[in-house]
Structures are given as structure tokens and as C-alpha cells.
Chains A and B, each alone.
Chain A
Amino acid sequence: MAAEIAHIFMTGAQELPPHARDEAHADRLSSLVSLARAGDSLAFERLMVETERRVVATAWRLLGNREDARDAAQEVYLRVFKYMGRFRAGEDFQGWLYRITVNVCHDLARKRRAAGGEQLDDAGLEREERTAFENLRRDDADTESATLRAQRLALVRRALLTLPEKERAAIVLRDLEGLSTEEVASALGSRAVTVRSQISSARAKIRDYCERLTRTGGTAQ
């Protein structure tokens, strides 16, 4: 079994063109799913290693803070394990994983709202802003411009988090995760034309927000 997994990873490590690499990656994930479904816990762990960065990044972009992203990722993998038997061979595992991630994030956001917490977590945003500022100060000699830039980025994050749930999911998957419109539609369980409309609306709102930000010198609310 371990030799089989090692073979899978050795195949993935080979230098391949991007398209072939994507296909090889998909094949590798399918093989890991098959092994994990047969009860191989090591294969399931490898499956997590292969996909966790993408899951955490998506959850962080949808929820806006690190703690919620961690909780969401844990729940995503518990659901993957639970429903792995329903995953059909030949299906796109990445798409399936995105679908679960988006659903988990929506559930978590609703739970937070129901519990009285704000979906737009100000404390989390401030923390992110501070971290971004610290990073920028290290790179930029000009502290003032670094501060301004950090503020602008934090405000853009805030702008994304104020979008309606479906628009946010569509723009995160399309513009930040780099999925095609059809892949986004598949992950969100809607039609491509609907996704295109949601993306268009979300981009227009983000652009309006950024425009206001530019006019007010980075302090727009």
C-alpha cells in the first residue's frame, strides 16, 4: 500500500507540462480517494496534504479570518471522509472538494450570524491588517506608503466580505482560485449564465469600492 502511495507521489514529482500536470494531479487524487475509501488512513492523510492549502485558502477568502478558515477546513475533511463513498469514479475530485468547501463556509457563516457574531469579523480584519502592515514595512522603506497600502488591501478585503454570499463565492472561485466559469458553476451547483451574472455584478461592486478608495486616498468605508 505504502509503495503504491510512493509511486503516486513520484509520478506527481516528475516535470510535466501544465495541462498534463493537472491531469496527473487529478489521477493521483482519484487513486488516493480509492485507497482511502478502502480504509487506508495513510492515503486519506496524503489526500489532505495534497489539497489542504487550497481548501484553507478558499475558506479564508470566503470567511475572512484564519480561525474560521481552520474550523471550516476541519469540517470539510470530516465531510470528505464521511461522504467519500458517494464520490463516483471519474468525477472531478477538486470540483467536489470546492463544492464541499463552499457549503461548509456558508454553513459556518450562517452559524456565526445566528450566534450573534458578525460575519464580517472586525477583530479578524484588524489582525490581518496589522500582519499585512508588518510584512509591508519589512519590504518598504517608506513607512507612510506601506501603511497606506496595507489599509487599502484591508479595505478591499472588507469590500469582498460585504458582497452577497453567492457573488462572493463566484468571484472567489473565478478570480482568486482561477476556475473557469463552467467549473465555478459546477462547484456552486448553478448554471454558467447565472455565475457569469454574479461575477459581473461582484466585479462592478469591487471596482466601485476601489474607485471610492482611490478618490478618498485609501480611507473609504
Chain B
Amino acid sequence: MREMNCKRATELLPLYTAGDLEDSREREVAAHLAACDGCRALAGEFASSRELLAEAFETPEFGADFYAGIRSAVLAEIKRDGRTPSTPSLFATLFGRRLIYAASLALLLLACGLALQHFRHAANESQQEMAGDRHETREQQQPQQANVPSPSPQIKKQENVPQTVLAKESPRKRQRLSVEPAAEKQRVVPRQTDSARIENTQIATVPGATATVGSTNAASQSAPEVSRIEIQTADPNIRIIWLTPQKSEAPNPEKDNHENGDRK
């Protein structure tokens, strides 16, 4: 058996005197007390203080009236409030309170997980949309660049935002279009998924439309005839007007329709 020092014995004495130690510890303390007078005296003090405490708190006799008073007060209170014992719900009876907490926590975590997944999905969709829009814009720009001889920067800018478009839009949007023509053009192109909502498509060849497009006379005179395609989207505020310069041969409506379909 290991030797116990006085410090350790002193720590264990409060529990030893009331038999609260494990057997092995109790034997160690007993062995130490047998050899140590100081600790034995301390153990005696603990024992006498417990006796004194027990004596000080001996259950007092309060008398039958005291208890009867408590009972009648309780019963009167119950009767006055019309209280009934609470009955636990079937769920609580079956599973207990701890399981209810666990189930609530699991539901909360599940809800958080679903919400997170939803937000991620929405973020992915918006990224895909942006990527799709960029792709469409690039596709639009490429044929234009191939067919149209590149005008001066000023004319090009004017072509991106035709005056007719500006005239039909709301004042606020008009202002935006005039400030950010390129960006706005990207925005008004309908998505592939929105094609079903396109209500009305007008395809017309507008001879001399350049007069409304260009502001420089020299440029307008040299510009070829322009095909005008109007697409009304489901949103009444958004109408897509596409002006493309025509080649010298006669316009082919099938081709225009095909291009229009591609754009959607």
C-alpha cells in the first residue's frame, strides 16, 4: 500500500469521517491516521463538528397545526385556481424530454442545411445565368462584327443604343441606357428560358433607318439598309429592338427568323 502524506490525508478527511471514500482510499487514510497523531486529532474535530451540526439542525417539532395550515392553504389555492395536474403530451410520454430536445436540434440542423443548399443553388444559378448572358452577348457581337464594316467609335456607340429604343423606355431606364449602353444591351437580351414568354415579335426592314440611328450625316449616308427586329418580352418595360445592317441581296425572312430564334 502506498504511503499517504499529511496533506493528502487532510484533503480526504472530510469525506473519510462520513464514509464517503472508496474502500481502497479509506484503508489508506486509516493507515495514515494510525501513524499520525496530528491527523487523528483533525479527524476527531471533523467528527465532532458533524455531531454539532446534526444537533443544531435536529428536526424541530412545528406542531400539527403548522402542517394542517400548509395543507389547507395548498388545497384552497388549488380549488381557487381550478388547477388540474398537467398531463404530458403523448410524444413527451413516449420519448421523454431529452429526446424531444435532440429531435428539435436535429430538425433545426436539417432546416439550416436545406436553407444553405437553397442559397448555394441560387448562387450557382445566377452564376450560370451571368455566364450564359456573356456567351450570348459574345455570339451576338461576333456576327455583327463579321457583317458590318466597323464604323467610327462614335457611330458604333450610337448603334448600340438606338434612339427609338430610348424613346420607348421609361425616363429612368432611358437615362441608364444613355449612360451605359453596352451593359444595358447585355441585360435586355432574353434568356433561353424566357423564350416562351416572348409575346410579340416584329421583323421589318426599315430602309433609311440609319437616319434615326446615326447622328453623323456622312456616316448615315454610307451605312447600308438596316433590318429592325422588335421582341416584346413578358415584361412590358423590356422590348428588344435589334437593328442589323443588311447585305445588298434581298432580305431572307427565314434567315432572319432563324437568327432571331438563335438569339433567344
Which residues of A are interface residues toward B (Cβ below 8 A)? 36-37, 39, 41, 44-45, 48-49, 52-53, 56-57, 60-61, 66, 70, 73-74, 77-78, 81-86, 88, 131, 152-154, 156-157, 160, 171-172, 174-176, 181, 196, 199-201, 203-204, 206-207, 209-211
Contact = CB atoms under 8 A, between A and B. Distances in A.
A161 to B, nearest CB: 10
B85 A37 contact: yes
A132 to B, nearest CB: 9
A203 B49 contact: yes
A79 to B, nearest CB: 10
Contact of A78 (B77, B84, B96): B77
B71 A153 contact: no
Interface residues of B, number: 38
16 contacts: A56-B70, A60-B60, A70-B66, A74-B74, A77-B71, A81-B83, A82-B85, A153-B52, A153-B55, A156-B53, A157-B56, A176-B53, A199-B15, A201-B14, A206-B49, A206-B50
Nearest to A64: B57
A56 B14 CA distance: 27
Interface in B5-63: 11, 14-15, 17-18, 20, 45-46, 48-50, 52-57, 59-60, 62
Nearest to A155: B56
A88 B96 CA distance: 9
B56 A153 contact: yes
B171 interface: no
Contacts of A82: 83, 85-86
- Is chain B's binding surface mostly helix, strand, loop or mixed? helix
Contacts of A86: 86, 88, 92
Q: Which of B62, B87, B92 has the most chain A CB atoms closer than 10 A to its own CB?
A: B62
A176 B59 CA distance: 9
A31 B42 CA distance: 47
Nearest to B66: A70
Contacts of A209: 49
B87 A85 contact: yes
A211 B49 contact: yes
